[in-house]
Structure 1
């Protein structure tokens, strides 16, 4: 019998700097396809046509301001910052654990220092707009998206390869 997976431990790295005790929370990126409804003559319903991938955003929260995050704020380069999430999930029905790694590259474009109240921990939020996303589970690559380099891989299958070939991009 399978029970829900529980995140037991996680770690966050920003440009190689570890924040194991300072990272409070991550809102991992929502990955969604942008679609458009299509209904042709005689069709009794709509078909969702794939158009692109929706914007990828990562929100991460720390207990106070951190220099490494501010250093890349509003950087000229679209992928100036590398953020790496590593999580260990437990499934108590089988007693097994599962590793999840998510790597994004992007630019920190929003900071929210939250409320400043004496004697309380900080709640410093950062939003990173991402142009690269990679998710691996137990060492196996499940999803990789590189917007600028036109890469879209799902479970090892590059869904844009035939299109790049069609336009002479190898």
Structure 2
């Protein structure tokens, strides 16, 4: 039977504090793998080989100014723990078949905070850009993705894809 997955809502937390309804949008970082071109004599084509994970950057748009967010986001040398909890739904021909949590934890340091833009008769929004050093994504309690830039740990579906590299370099 064919299934369709959908996410229509989520909630944001900062250092464990519930920010229900305070974020208009939460952009998680894109996991971008750096690529290095390899050209060699005798090869007709060019090959791109993975060389590491690029810097992870995301953004949050806030519905208004929230002092509890601003005091955490304004400190450039202190990391905070963000969490996004989403409602992951699966539909099939009979309708809604399953709902499970999709939870993403992100350890970040904020790098840019908009102080606001004001227009007549329009609600002000504030955005915060962050740099992530650690990401863990869990679907229904199972780890789907984990990356930590400081420890050279990268797991996909529980499998450590950098274990041999760390062993080879003595880390």
Is this a same-fold pair by TM over 0.5?
Answer: yes
CA distance, structure 1, for counterparts of residue 113 and residue 77 of structure 2: 17
What is the aligned partner in structure 1 of residue 82 from structure 2? 83
CA distance, structure 1, for counterparts of residue 110 and residue 52 of structure 2: 23
- SS for the counterpart of 2:134 is strand
Name stretches of at least 5 consecutive residues in structure 1 with no aligned partner: none
Farther off after superposition, 89-98 or 119-128 = 89-98
What is the aligned partner in structure 1 of residue 3 from structure 2? 2
Q: Does 1:109 align with 2:111?
A: yes
5 Å matches for 1:50-89?
Answer: 50-72=50-72, 73-77=74-78, 80-89=79-88
CA distance, structure 1, for counterparts of residue 116 and residue 42 of structure 2: 54
Shift of 1:71: 2.0
TM-score normalized by the length of structure 1: 0.88
- SS for the counterpart of 2:35 is strand
What is the aligned partner in structure 2 of residue 49 from structure 1? 49
Name stretches of at least 5 consecutive residues in structure 2 with no aligned partner: none
Number of residue pairs matched by the alignment: 166
TM-score normalized by the length of structure 2: 0.88
Please list the CA deviations of residues 62-117 of structure 1 after superposition, one character each: whole Å capped at 9, or x if unmatched.
1112223322324224xx11110000022332512232111111111111245313
What is the aligned partner in structure 2 of residue 123 from structure 1? 125
What's the C-alpha RMSD, in Å, of the aligned pairs? 1.8
